[in-house]
Chain A
Amino acid sequence: MEMQQFYYDNKIVKKFIYATIFWGLIGMTVGLMLAFMFLYPNYTSGISWLSFGRLRPLHTNAVIFAFVGNAIFAGVYYSLQRLLKARMASDFLSNLNFWGWQLIIVAAAITLPLGYTSSKEYAELEWPIDIAIALIWVAFGANMIWTILKRRQRHIYVAIWFYIATFVTVAVLHIFNSLALPVSFLKSYSAYAGVQDALVQWWYGHNAVAFFLTTPFLGLMYYFVPKAANRPVYSYRLSIVHFWSLIFIYIWAGPHHLLYTALPDWAQNLGVAFSVMLIAPSWGGMINGLLTLRGAWDKVRVDPVLKFMVVAITGYGMATFEGPMLSLKNVNAIAHFTDWIIAHVHVGALAWNGFLTFGMLYWMVPRLFKTKLYSIALANVHFWIGTLGILLYALPMYVAGFVQASMWKQFNPDGTLTYGNFLETVHEIIPMYWMRAIGGTLFIIGAFIMLYNIIKTVKSGSEVEDELAEATALTPVPSHRTKGEGWHTWIERKPVRFTIYTTIAILIGGLVQIIPVILVKSNIPTISSVKPYTPLELEGRDIYIKEGCVGCHSQMIRPFRSEVARYGDYSKAGEFVYDRAFLWGSKRTGPDLHRLGGKYSDSWHFNHMYDPQSTSSGSIMPRYQWLIKNKLDKSSIESKMKTLATLGVPYTDNDIANAQASMDAQGKKIQGNLYNDPNFVKSYEADKKFAKDNGEEFVEMKDREIVALIAYLQRLGTDIKVKDTQALLK
């Protein structure tokens, strides 16, 4: 049999490694900035693009798609070629994948701080960037499958199955969740509304965790842990069961993000059932990873690569035990909206994704540069300081979550809330926020130590070259099952068919949950008094979305006595039929806002946005003073309303034609209300006079952004502010 010579593409791996480190440090640093905003809310005051609401999506996107994303590509491009004994099929596609992905990240880093966001978590990017993501992702997948077809190794190792599932599922999730109708170049409205939007979003959101942060990393674990330990995986049989059961069950679990919300009960319960089942494949995989080290534990003592991997897999085990527990309705009732969830996701991100990436980098870099790691001691320092950082991050956040949830639910003997002022529950956990910031700092210091260590290693090594390898070509085999060949062995050598079966396995769960909620009318009972937003409220809502208010405020009152007592009547599915995108939120750093309308005066909102600490002593909300200065851009309201009408919102042609007049009238009314505050009159009139005296243009208050926002906030939850909602249900 003829031996063929070929070269592994190492240069593309090097590029992705550099990108991983670069974006990782940026994403983590933005995270640390956010952690300090809990302690010093106004330290970026006045700079809209450095405000908490706009930076939070930048942090999550940078860590997930830039840091972890580039790490996935680095690991996949390294392992795939070697497992298949073939160079990547197309250098062009490899490079398109690399440069396209970096451009997308840069586009995200520019648009998110400027407030261009769809507000759907981990899917915030606007539609042109979404299209670019889809194209680049397909380039990655096409290159991968093409390489598999050109392989010189008959069997497709389990790691590659996970890569295929990752490619297929992320493509499906991304496309369906991002469906939206554009209004302009960087503004669109979701194709789904309210409850349906929420379900699709969390089907996506949960599976972004599953198929972007988990399956590719499990694939990497199945390659790099055996490599680093120099022994095969503990049980290959287990890995097969692990793969199919994980991808099948994971896709169903999304609704556990929406427990006790207005989502139909059957969908919630389905989500819970599958989430609980998920512990079996997750732990099967974790055990398989850890037991790969059987008989090699002495190596863990001396090899930092294995140390990182052991903590990573342990973190995976903890997070995937906690996940099913959090999906139980009684646990979720406590944990949801609190910092417990922040702890949970950071165990996953810092330990599982972060540490597996670090371990992988420490393993690959010396090999690619044909040298030794510059300093094992520094890698050990990184390991210990990073581990300490994770603990100091996660533990206080668990405590904070418990404390705050307990305080939210505490009643006095006379039936009133013990901590009626939300701020009391915030002040109690400030020390925890301090510890979290310190833990995060340690983790980042560790990452910078790694940067130094890797720079030194790279400098001491030689230039990365494409590596020569040899293998025999595959002899042709009939496409049907050969005699004595198991059916799974047969699917394994048919990559395209394998991909199709994987797609079917992941589609069924999504379809069964989503199609009925969208297509069966009885799932979302309509409420006759719920009307579309007025033009000014719609503009206000878009400002709410732009400023990322949803990052700290929910709009979903769960049907608990403690929530109804604090916020008002619980939220109904029919109230959200005009909400594109839905704004239920997932975290309450501040109180829920669903029934905010009519609770405070317009002047209160005005003063609160100008300086939250003036109206709410000790508040950790930042100032939004630019909203008070900025002129409201009313130019696109007609096209916004037309787009929404196309999507099914009952705006008539008359409504659209009268939009400007309606905005003006509603703005005037709010402006009039603001005149009730003598302090406002004094400073506003002084400003007006100053502008007149100096010949400057003066924008009337009714035409500024703050007025639109107030209009929206005063509308919130008022459609059914009546005792007897049952009568309105039809």
Chain B
Amino acid sequence: MLKFAKNYMESISGIEIYPIISLLIFFTFFMGLFWWVATTKKEYIEEVSNLPLDN
């Protein structure tokens, strides 16, 4: 099966850009995540963290 799919990646031009794009996506995602976590309102956090206790 795999013999049909072998060696394709070598022929893709400009393949080096993909790792850079993935890095940027994840860097942005985690920066956004930290920003959101740091700025979330305390009341919301308290409400959500009490969910297990209210049943």
Enumerate chain A interface residues (CB-CB to B < 8 A): 79, 82-83, 85, 153, 155, 157-159, 181, 191-192, 196, 222-223, 226-227, 230-233, 236-237, 240-241, 244-245, 248, 469, 486-489, 508, 512, 515-516, 518-522, 646-648
B6-A519 in contact (CB<8A): yes
- On whether A85 and B2 interact (CB within 8 A), knowing A237-B45, A519-B7, the answer reads no
User: Interface 1/0s, chain B 3-26, versus A by CB < 8 A?
Assistant: 101111110000000010010001
Cross-chain contact of B48 among A192, A236, A245 (Cβ < 8 A):
A236
Taking CB atoms and an 8 Å cut-off, the chain B residues in 28-50 that contact chain A are 29-30, 32-34, 36-40, 44-50
B40-A519 in contact (CB<8A): no
Q: Across the two chains, which residue of chain A brings its CB closest to B38? A: A237
B5-A518 in contact (CB<8A): yes
- B7 CB → nearest A CB, Å: 5
Chain A residues near B45 (CB, 8 Å)? 236-237
Given contacts A181-B1, A522-B10, A647-B2, could you give 19 more A-B pairs where the C-beta distance is less than 8 Å?
Answer: A155-B47, A155-B51, A191-B1, A222-B52, A227-B53, A232-B52, A237-B38, A241-B34, A486-B36, A486-B39, A488-B33, A488-B36, A519-B5, A519-B6, A519-B8, A520-B10, A647-B1, A647-B3, A648-B3
Chain B residues near A232 (CB, 8 Å)? 46, 49-50, 52-53
Which range contains the number of B residues in contact with the other chain? 20 to 34
Bound-state Cα–Cα, A522 to B29, Å: 33
A512-B33 in contact (CB<8A): no
A237-B55 in contact (CB<8A): no
Q: Across the two chains, which residue of chain B brings its CB closest to A649? A: B3
- A146 CB → nearest B CB, Å: 20
Q: Across the two chains, which residue of chain A brings its CB closest to B25? A: A508
A516-B9 in contact (CB<8A): yes
Q: Across the two chains, which residue of chain B brings its CB closest to A484? A: B41
8 contacts between A and B (CB under 8 A): A83-B55, A192-B2, A196-B2, A232-B52, A241-B33, A486-B39, A521-B6, A521-B10
Q: Across the two chains, which residue of chain B brings its CB closest to A492? A: B48
Tell me how many residue pairs across A and B have CB atoms closer than 8 Å.
96
A237-B40 in contact (CB<8A): yes
A233-B49 in contact (CB<8A): yes
Q: Across the two chains, which residue of chain B brings its CB closest to A179? A: B1
Would you list the 9 A-B pairs with minimal beta carbon distance, nearest first?
A648-B3, A236-B49, A232-B49, A82-B55, A519-B9, A157-B51, A488-B36, A521-B7, A237-B37
Chain A residues near B40 (CB, 8 Å)? 237, 486, 488-489
Enumerate chain B interface residues (CB-CB to A < 8 A): 1-3, 5-10, 19, 22, 26, 29-30, 32-34, 36-40, 44-53, 55
Interface class of chain B by DSSP = helix
B30-A85 in contact (CB<8A): no
B2-A518 in contact (CB<8A): yes
- A339 CB → nearest B CB, Å: 36
Bound-state Cα–Cα, A192 to B6, Å: 12
B36-A245 in contact (CB<8A): no
- A476 CB → nearest B CB, Å: 20
Bound-state Cα–Cα, A141 to B1, Å: 30
A245-B30 in contact (CB<8A): yes
Chain A residues near B10 (CB, 8 Å)? 519-522
A469-B55 in contact (CB<8A): yes
Bound-state Cα–Cα, A155 to B22, Å: 29
A648-B1 in contact (CB<8A): yes
- B16 CB → nearest A CB, Å: 12
Chain B residues near A515 (CB, 8 Å)? 9
- On whether A520 and B55 interact (CB within 8 A), knowing A237-B37, A486-B40, A647-B1, the answer reads no
Chain B residues near A646 (CB, 8 Å)? 1
Cross-chain contact of A226 among B5, B36, B46, B52 (Cβ < 8 A):
B52
Chain B residues near A231 (CB, 8 Å)? 53
- A203 CB → nearest B CB, Å: 16
Chain B residues near A248 (CB, 8 Å)? 26
Chain B residues near A159 (CB, 8 Å)? 52
Bound-state Cα–Cα, A253 to B44, Å: 34
Chain A residues near B33 (CB, 8 Å)? 240-241, 244, 488
Chain B residues near A518 (CB, 8 Å)? 2, 5-6
Bound-state Cα–Cα, A85 to B53, Å: 12
Bound-state Cα–Cα, A516 to B15, Å: 11
Bound-state Cα–Cα, A520 to B44, Å: 49
A223-B48 in contact (CB<8A): no
Bound-state Cα–Cα, A157 to B53, Å: 11
- B43 CB → nearest A CB, Å: 12
Chain A residues near B50 (CB, 8 Å)? 232
Q: Across the two chains, which residue of chain A brings its CB closest to B37? A: A237
Chain B residues near A223 (CB, 8 Å)? 52
- B35 CB → nearest A CB, Å: 9
A512-B37 in contact (CB<8A): no
- On whether A191 and B2 interact (CB within 8 A), knowing A486-B36, A520-B9, the answer reads yes
Q: Across the two chains, which residue of chain B brings its CB closest to A243? A: B33
Q: Across the two chains, which residue of chain A brings its CB closest to B34? A: A241
Bound-state Cα–Cα, A135 to B6, Å: 30
Chain A residues near B3 (CB, 8 Å)? 647-648
Bound-state Cα–Cα, A508 to B36, Å: 23
Bound-state Cα–Cα, A486 to B39, Å: 9
- On whether A487 and B36 interact (CB within 8 A), knowing A227-B52, A232-B50, A646-B1, the answer reads yes
Chain B residues near A244 (CB, 8 Å)? 29-30, 33
Bound-state Cα–Cα, A79 to B22, Å: 35
Bound-state Cα–Cα, A227 to B53, Å: 6
Cross-chain contact of B53 among A222, A230, A519, A521 (Cβ < 8 A):
A230
Chain A residues near B7 (CB, 8 Å)? 519-521
- A582 CB → nearest B CB, Å: 14
A155-B37 in contact (CB<8A): no
Bound-state Cα–Cα, A236 to B38, Å: 11
Q: Across the two chains, which residue of chain B brings its CB closest to A224? A: B52
- On whether A79 and B8 interact (CB within 8 A), knowing A192-B2, A237-B45, A241-B34, the answer reads no
Chain B residues near A83 (CB, 8 Å)? 51-52, 55
Q: Across the two chains, which residue of chain A brings its CB closest to B47? A: A155
Bound-state Cα–Cα, A664 to B39, Å: 75
- B38 CB → nearest A CB, Å: 8
Bound-state Cα–Cα, A516 to B5, Å: 11
In this complex, the member of A79, A191, A232, A521 whose beta carbon has the largest number of chain B beta carbons within 10 angstroms is A232
Bound-state Cα–Cα, A181 to B1, Å: 9
Bound-state Cα–Cα, A157 to B48, Å: 7
Chain A residues near B1 (CB, 8 Å)? 181, 191, 646-648
Chain A residues near B47 (CB, 8 Å)? 155
- A208 CB → nearest B CB, Å: 23
Bound-state Cα–Cα, A149 to B49, Å: 20
Q: Across the two chains, which residue of chain B brings its CB closest to A225? A: B52
- A155 CB → nearest B CB, Å: 5
In this complex, the member of A159, A227, A520 whose beta carbon has the largest number of chain B beta carbons within 10 angstroms is A520
Bound-state Cα–Cα, A646 to B2, Å: 10
Chain B residues near A158 (CB, 8 Å)? 48
Cross-chain contact of A85 among B8, B29, B55 (Cβ < 8 A):
B55
Q: Across the two chains, which residue of chain B brings its CB closest to A82? A: B55
Bound-state Cα–Cα, A181 to B44, Å: 51
- A163 CB → nearest B CB, Å: 13
